[in-house]
């Protein structure tokens, strides 16, 4: 019997994918995630999201370029299955070059545990220093969030569950 492909776990080992598929098929993945992450965050408006992001940035990336905007964006999930985006826009104003950094987070993260939102924001903040997803990028993510890789995996499990059964929080 061939197991269903789990879209969000493609880069993980076949054994791990198999374990996740078994939990998903048995209906045990949702309760497991809800036990580990019982509550969703309360950062539902963009001001609270911006303040939370700036606190993370100030704790770990003080010397990085300033952020002009941090918002929830309902169009993100459509673009290459992105969960968040860091954009860098350069404009010429008079004789000066002005740069703006923005972080846009998928609106699906309005109703998830705070740890998942933090993981996405850490990922996007790391792009202020490291543009590529390389070793230095992931080292910076782990510096800002020591459980980064576990949170990313758990988030991928949640997205797999959500795709099949809908939201948990």
pLDDT by residue (tens digit) across 3-49?
Answer: 567 888 988 999 999 999 999 999 999 999 999 999 999 999 999 99
pLDDT above 70 as % of the chain: 86
Mean pLDDT by 10 residues, the chain (169 residues): 71 94 96 98 96 97 91 74 62 72 91 97 95 96 98 96 94
pTM given for the model: 0.88
- Check residue 42 and report its DSSP letter: S
CA-nearest of 40, 20, 38, 18 to 28 is: 20
- Residue 140: its pLDDT value, please? 98
Distance of alpha carbon 52 from alpha carbon 50, whole angstroms: 5
Sheet holding 96-106, edge to edge: 69-73, 96-106, 84-93
Helix (H) or strand (E) holding 102, with range, is strand 96-106
Beta bridge partners of residue 88, listed in sequence order = 101
Helix pair 148-165, 135-144: axis angle to 10 deg: 90
The answer to whether the beta carbons of residues 84 and 103 sit under 8 Å apart is: yes
Contacts of 3 (CB under 8 A, 6+ apart): 17, 18, 21
Q: How far is C-alpha 134 from the geometric centre of its chain's CA atoms? A: 17
């Amino acid at each position: 019997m061939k197991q269903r492909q789990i879209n969000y776990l493609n880069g993980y080992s076949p054994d791990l994918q198999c374990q996740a598929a078994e939990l998903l098929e048995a209906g045990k993945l949702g309760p497991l995630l809800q036990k580990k992450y019982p509550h969703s965050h309360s950062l539902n408006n963009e001001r609270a999201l911006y303040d939370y992001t700036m606190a993370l940035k100030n704790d770990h990336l003080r010397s990085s370029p300033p952020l002009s905007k941090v918002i929830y964006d309902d169009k993100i999930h459509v673009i290459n299955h992105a969960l968040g985006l860091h954009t860098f826009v350069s404009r010429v104003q008079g004789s000066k070059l002005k740069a703006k950094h923005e972080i846009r987070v998928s609106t699906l993260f309005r109703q998830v545990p705070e740890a998942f939102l933090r993981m996405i924001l850490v990922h996007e903040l790391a792009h202020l220093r490291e543009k590529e997803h390389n070793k230095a990028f992931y080292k910076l993510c782990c510096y800002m969030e020591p459980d980064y890789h576990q949170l990313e995996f758990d988030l991928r499990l949640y997205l797999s569950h959500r795709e099949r059964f809908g939201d948990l929080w």
